[in-house]
């Protein structure tokens, strides 16, 4: 399926899904025009390690639909017990009957966009990106979440696909008002072994003094594709922490831009990609210090086995007026097989003079001495590898502040590692 087919699909979809906000309809039409001209990103520097088209064009895709079977219900029950606020997408469509959000304001994107024009248009980092054109050509589904002033809440957004060939494009627009405290977990995870693709666009506005912990977990089977674009903007003394976890998918591509707009704004970005088979993860993160007295920290870690490929591009951009900025970046990769590959691209663009900025990148293997130490204590090599790889990734998982969420994800990661590294 080439990009012309995608456009035809988007045009059909638009006929069925009219948006009430005229400006949003305009966004969608412009995106289609742009995508028509650009096609998939093939020449762009941002995508030089990842041929998106190759992953997406191998089959016929279908737009979201509402049918699902009982397997989904079984998956949901566990989450319903654990999360007060749970938003469920099935096959790309907001499943209201499976969702509930008693302590936070959540509305479907298609009807809530009317009042969101100015906030939407303030996010511009990816407005020239080919994948944004693709996504916005299908702009309709999603949710608008408002964390009200001085409130504290935890919200889980679960995106499940149960049908072959679905390509979904939800949008998640989050507004954390002054001094609110929001933990948001977006999770895409496999409930069947079908082939499908998801593209999720997330926009997060962090108002003055607000705090947002944003966990984005991709835990799919190795036949599916995931494209994620996330933008966050942080106002005075706001705090935003992004934790990106790529733990399974044929292709997982992440574009993340975090803008620090006023003094006291603080951003943290952590990423863990644990890959196996022929999985391919490509994470591109920009942190933009646009104001003085802002701080950020970034750590990305990859654990690569079999023939997997992990790409990390981290850019710290410190604008001229952003004096007294403190920023750090670190990328570490652990390679567990001969054929796995890691590419690390740290980029610093510093235009202010009074800044502290550090960066580093390492790629290595497990040390024979470490393995031997474990073995002399009766722990077999396979088990030692699992424990050591988990320990390597644990630094990222430990950044998840909420203990229940941290433990739940940690258990899954350990189980995965035991299944894939224990040989």
Partner 1 sequence: MIEIKNLHATVNGTEILKGINLTVKKGEVHAIMGPNGSGKSTLSKIIAGHPAYEVTSGEILFEINGKMKNILELDPADRAKEGVFLGFQYPIEVPGVSNFTFLKESFNQICEHQGAEKLDDQAFLKLLRSKLKILEMNEAFLERSVNEGFSGGEKKKNEILQMAILNPRLSLLDETDSGLDIDALKIVAGGVNSLRSKFNATVLVTHYQRLLDYIIPDYVHVLYKGQIIKSGDKSLAHELEEKGYDWLTGEK
Q: Which residues of this protein are in contact with partner 1, per CB under 8 A? A: 367-370, 372-381, 383, 387-388, 390-392, 394-395
Asked whether 156 and 45 are in contact (CB, 8 A), the reply is: no
Distances (CA, A) of 61 to 64, 142, 151, 332, 355: 10, 19, 41, 36, 48
Which residues 6+ apart lie within 8 Å of 204 measured at CB?
174, 176, 184, 212, 214, 230, 231, 232, 233, 240
Rounded-to-integer distance, Cα 266 and Cα 288, Å: 11
The CB-of-393 to partner 1 minimum distance in angstroms stands at: 8
Structure-block tokens of residue 241: 């922490």
* Least distance CB 110 / partner 1 (angstroms): 45
- Closest by CA to 363, choosing from 391, 338, 341, is 341
User: By C-beta, is 137 or 333 nearer to partner 1?
Assistant: 333
DSSP 59: S
Q: Which is nearer to partner 1, 105 or 370 (CB)?
A: 370
Q: Is the dihedral of CA 109, 114, 119, 121 positive or negative?
A: positive
CB of 397 to partner 1, least distance (A): 10
Read off the tokens for 52. 């998106």
* Least gap, CB of 165 to partner 1 (angstroms): 40
Q: Which is nearer to partner 1, 13 or 392 (CB)?
A: 392
Give min distance, CB of 261 to partner 1, in A.
Answer: 35
Beta bridge partners of residue 326, listed in sequence order: 295, 356
Q: Which is nearer to partner 1, 118 or 376 (CB)?
A: 376
Q: Tell me the closest approach of the beta carbon of residue 247 to partner 1, in angstroms.
A: 17
Q: Which is nearer to partner 1, 184 or 389 (CB)?
A: 389
Nearer to partner 1, 254 or 385 (CB): 385
Q: Between residues 185 and 421, which has the closer beta carbon with respect to partner 1? A: 421
DSSP conformation class of 330: E
Closest approach of partner 1 to the CB of residue 344, in Å? 20
Distance CA 312, CA 200 (A): 19
d(CA 256, CA 261): 16
Contact at 8 Å (CB) between 269 and 285? yes
Cα–Cα nearest to 138, from 19, 21, 257, 220: 19
Cβ closest to partner 1, residue 148 vs residue 383: 383
**Minimum CB distance to partner 1, residue 394 (Å):** 5
Nearest to 219 by CA among 422, 386, 54, 417: 417
Between 102 and 378, name the residue whose CB sits nearer to partner 1.
378
Sign of CA pseudo-dihedral 379, 383, 389, 390: negative
Least separation in angstroms between residue 383's CB and partner 1 is 7
């Amino acid at each position: 399926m080439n990009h012309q087919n995608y456009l035809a699909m988007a045009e059909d979809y638009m006929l069925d899904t009219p948006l009430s906000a005229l400006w949003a309809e305009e966004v969608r039409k412009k995106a289609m025009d742009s995508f028509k001209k650009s096609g998939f990103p093939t020449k762009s520097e941002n995508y030089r390690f990842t041929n998106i088209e190759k992953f997406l064009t191998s089959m016929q895709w279908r737009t979201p639909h509402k049918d699902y079977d009982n397997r989904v219900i079984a998956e949901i029950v566990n989450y319903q017990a654990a999360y007060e606020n749970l938003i469920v997408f099935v096959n790309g469509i907001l499943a209201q009957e499976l969702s509930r959000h008693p302590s936070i304001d959540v509305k479907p994107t298609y009807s809530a966009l009317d009042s969101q024009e100015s906030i939407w248009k303030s996010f511009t980092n990816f407005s020239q990106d080919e994948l944004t054109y693709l996504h916005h050509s299908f702009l309709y589904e999603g949710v608008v979440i408002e964390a009200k002033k001085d409130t504290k809440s935890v919200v889980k957004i679960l995106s499940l696909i149960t049908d072959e060939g679905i390509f979904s494009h939800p949008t998640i627009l989050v507004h954390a008002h002054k001094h609110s405290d929001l933990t948001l977990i977006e999770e895409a995870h496999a409930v069947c072994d079908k082939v499908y693709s998801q593209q999720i666009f997330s926009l997060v506005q962090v108002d003055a003094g607000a705090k947002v912990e944003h966990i984005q977990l991709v835990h799919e089977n190795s036949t599916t594709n995931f494209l994620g674009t996330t933008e966050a903007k942080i106002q005075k003394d706001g705090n935003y922490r992004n934790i990106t976890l790529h733990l399974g998918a044929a292709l997982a591509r992440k574009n993340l831009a975090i803008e620090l707009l006023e003094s006291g704004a603080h951003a943290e970005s952590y990423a863990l990609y644990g890959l196996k088979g022929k999985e391919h993860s490509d994470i591109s993160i920009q942190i933009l210090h646009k104001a003085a007295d802002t701080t950020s920290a970034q750590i990305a870690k990859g654990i690569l086995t079999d023939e997997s490929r992990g790409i990390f591009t981290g850019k710290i951009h410190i604008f001229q007026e952003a004096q007294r900025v403190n920023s750090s970046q670190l990328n570490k990769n652990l390679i567990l097989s001969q054929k796995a590959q890691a590419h690390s691209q740290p980029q610093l663009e510093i235009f202010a003079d009074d800044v502290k900025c550090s960066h580093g990148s390492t790629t290595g293997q497990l040390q024979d001495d470490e393995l031997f130490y474990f073995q002399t204590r009766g722990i077999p090599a396979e088990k030692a590898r699992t424990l050591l790889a988990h320990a390597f990734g644990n630094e990222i998982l430990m950044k998840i502040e909420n203990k229940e969420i941290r433990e739940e994800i940690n258990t899954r990661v350990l189980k995965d590692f035991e299944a894939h590294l224990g040989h």
